[in-house]
Amino acid sequence: MAQPMTGTGRVTVLPLLHTWPDRYGILAYTTLGAFGQTAVIGYLPLPAIPDMPLMDIATRHHPRKVYGSAGGPGYAEACWLLCTGWSGRVIRKPGSLELHHAHWALEPDSTTHLYKTTYGHDRLHTGRLTLTNPELMTQAGDLLPTRSC
């Protein structure tokens, strides 16, 4: 198992429909590095919501049709996740949170080194992300649509 990671900074939190038609989880996107070159995308562990295997969810969206297979195993899936997190930040949707100075901790499931810069990132860490402020975790949990449980 990889070492846990922690950080403080801007975190975008949004609901993610991961199994059609009504299974949602909460996704968090943040960055590390002086220029945000490392992306961190995690699912928030919430009661009554199963863990979300992010790379598997990405695979179900057939990302190789868009990103190809030149980057090696996991590259297309990482790009799909980066697009999801990055676009959730750039085009803020109703029902999302933008936290400007949040403390977080990640239990990494995977790390993908990208063969070229994608959405401004050279690397992606995925896994279970927790906002260390319990009040922010509650706010994030409130983003779940009521039909998701």
pLDDT tens, position by position, 51-80: 999 999 999 989 999 998 888 889 999 999
* Cβ neighbours of residue 130 closer than 8 Å, sequence gap 6 or more: 44, 45, 104, 105, 106, 137
User: Residue 6: pLDDT above 90?
Assistant: yes
Question: Does residue 147 lie in a domain region?
Answer: no
DSSP 25: E
In a domain, 86, yes or no: yes
The conformation of residue 4, written as its DSSP 8-state character, comes to P
Q: Is the pLDDT of residue 1 over 70?
A: no
The model's pTM: 0.93
Pairing between β-strand 121-131 and β-strand 23-32 as defined by DSSP bridges? unpaired
Averaged pLDDT for residues 107-124:
95
- In whole angstroms, what is the distance from residue 82 CA to residue 40 CA? 9
pLDDT for residue 149:
47
CA separation for the pair 5, 96 (Å, rounded): 23
Residue-averaged pLDDT of the chain: 92
Question: CB under 8 Å, gap of 24 or more: what pairs does 33-36 form?
Answer: 35/120, 36/120, 36/121
Q: What percent of the chain has a predicted confidence (pLDDT) above 90?
A: 77
Instruction: Count the domains in the chain.
Output: 1
User: Residue 14: inside a domain, yes or no?
Assistant: yes
Q: What is the mean predicted confidence (pLDDT) over 77-102?
A: 95
* Domain interval for residue 37: 5-142
Confidence of residue 145 (pLDDT cuts 50, 70, 90): confident
* Dist CA 108 CA 84 (whole Å): 18
Q: Does residue 116 belong to any structural domain of this protein?
A: yes
Beta carbons of 29 and 89 less than 8 angstroms apart: yes
Query: Does residue 148 form part of some domain?
Result: no
CB 29 within 8 A of CB 104: no
Least confident residue range of 58-62, 67-71, 101-105, 141-145: 67-71
Distance CA 46, CA 144 (A): 10
Q: Does some domain include residue 105?
A: yes
